[in-house]
Amino acid sequence: MQRGKFITFEGIDGAGKSTHLAWLEHYLQDKGLEVVVTREPGGTALGEALRQLLLDHRQAMHPETEALLMFAARREHLDKVILPALDRGAWVISDRFTDASFAYQGGGRGMSTEKLEKLEQWVQAEFSPDLTLYFDVPVTLSRERVQSARVADRFERETDSFFERVRQAYLQRARQFPQRIWVVDGSQPMTAVKTAVAEIVEDFWANLPKAASGD
Ligand code: TYD
């Protein structure tokens, strides 16, 4: 049995990743794969309970508490959902993962990269996604999209400068890991974004080492 692949979607709130995530799920299912779609924070019963606390705008917390809860939810998510699925050959698509901690808790809240790297090392060692799509949009555009959507959560209530720092931290991560993180210009019309996503995914698929027959 070949181990599955782990694909993550990232972007500031309102970058439009959800639509494309659904497309990718169907694309992979059409290839006959088992696909597990999940999200962070969340993905398990405990993780979803932590998500409620993390997104509740009435719940104040220290930035490091926020980071610790994100990684606590992630530890559970890896143990209960992500790693078992990959082990049985399923492909896992997660709406956000550790890059979000570096972008939001690091860039946004100003927590040091060194501390976040320690948590990352503790919780996931060398494990990281095989492919990450980062949807990049200017803060003003993401704002328009989020405002028309619904009641704002604890992160969505943050200032434009917070989101600008989050965006810059994501772009910095993309420069740091150019083999893994692909930047998609999410400000283009939806069809153009979809084409860009499809190209990246098809390329990833085409370049996979194929299982040697008879092994
Ligand atoms: P989001 O993924 O935007 O879900 P929805 O589309 O339902 O709003 O919400 C999750 C929020 O959590 C988002 O604002 C980013 C934040 N977040 C972090 O700050 N750090 C993390 O490590 C993760 C995974 C998410």
Q: Per residue in 153-183, pLDDT tens?
A: 999 999 999 999 999 999 999 999 999 999 9
Q: Whose CA is nearest to atom 19 of ligand 1?
A: 104
**13 CA closest ligand 1 atom index:** 3
pTM (global) more than 0.75? yes
Q: Per residue in 67-91, pLDDT tens?
A: 999 999 999 999 999 999 999 999 9
**97 CA closest ligand 1 atom index:** 24
Q: Is 162 in the pocket of ligand 1 (CB under 6 A)?
A: no
For 11, the 3-state DSSP assignment is strand
Best probe residue, ligand 1, of 150, 155, 167 (max atoms within 8 Å of C-beta) = 155
**101 CA closest ligand 1 atom index:** 22
Question: What pLDDT shows up at residue 149?
Answer: 64
**CA distance linking residue 171 with residue 181, whole number of Å:** 9
CA distance between the termini of the chain: 10
What lies within 8 Å, CB to CB, of 72 at 6+ separation is 50
* Choice between 152 and 116, residue whose per-residue pLDDT is larger: 116
Q: Per residue in 101-148, pLDDT tens?
A: 999 999 999 999 999 999 999 999 999 999 999 999 999 999 888 876
Closest CA to 181 of 125, 114, 98, 78: 98
| pLDDT at position 213 over 50 | no
